[in-house]
Amino acid sequence: MSTIADLRLPAADTALAATFERAPEATFELESSVSKTRPSLWVSGVDPETVAAAFEADPSVETAELLVETGSRLLYDVTFGQGAGTGRLWDDLLADGGSLLEARASDGWWQVTVRYRDRDTLCVAYDRLLERGVNADLRRVTDVTDALDAEDHQTRLTPEQREALEAALEYGYFEIPRGVSMEELAEELGISHQALSERFRRAYETLVDAELQPAGEESRLD
């Protein structure tokens, strides 16, 4: 049994606040092979010149190196300033063995999904964020076992979503550091990186919607 937490964090308290001021239409997604010290970010919704200028003007960003440019997305290696940025954020969230499932930023907010071994571990991580002055909003808390096994739950994982999650666990995708990248895992499953990312996204949504509370209620920390 484990606990999945869905949190919403303001960029102003974490990273990229100035970037969003200059490029409010941009969306950032943490790349699957992220390290704590030098994360890679996929950027969409903005042209390279605009995001480069936004990074340059952001005091939380020391360097931003463009690695890959596709038709719709840009991949950057980013170094954040001392004591700032997502590196410190991941330390706060994952220090007690949490596994990062997803992290996206848009409209000045980070949307983060993290898997913990139990609710007590989640509470410790949540309190750590508040102590650092991060205005963290804990949106949903879900027990994974109940989400997967409850017979009366109407929204279930599809076979493809379950296969993707089971493979991710088997190959160490949720470990810190990751045992396999999303690209490698997609190749193992015989699907595209984009298809696997979509399976994960829909699976996470299903899991976080599987509340321990009665239908329509959200489980939150006070």
Are the beta carbons of 3 and 118 closer than 8 angstroms?
Answer: yes
Stretch 114-121: mean pLDDT, rounded? 89
121-134 burial code (b ≥16 CB/10 A, e <16): bbbebbebbeeeeb
The alpha carbon of residue 40 and the mean position of all alpha carbons in its chain are separated, in whole angstroms, by: 12
Residue 145 has pLDDT above 90, yes or no: no
Are the beta carbons of 168 and 201 closer than 8 angstroms?
Answer: no
Residue 19's pLDDT band, with cuts at 50, 70 and 90, is very high
135-153 burial code (b ≥16 CB/10 A, e <16): ebebbbbbbbeebeeeeeb
Question: What is the SS3 assignment for 79?
Answer: strand
24 cis-preceded (ω within 30 degrees of 0): no
Residue 176 Rama label (left phi>0; alpha psi -120 to 50; beta): beta
- For 198-208, how does the pLDDT look when each residue is reduced to its tens digit (9 = 90+)? 888 888 877 77
Q: Any idea what the Cα angle at residue 70 is, between residues 108 and 57, rounded to 5°?
A: 40
Top pLDDT among 85 and 218 is at: 85
Which pTM was predicted? 0.62
Residue 52 has pLDDT above 90, yes or no: yes
Q: Structure tokens of 190?
A: 């015989």
Comparing C-alpha atoms, which of 88, 100, 98, 99 is closest to residue 131? Answer: 88
Q: How many CB atoms lie within 10 A of CB 217?
A: 9
Q: Structure tokens of 16?
A: 């990229």
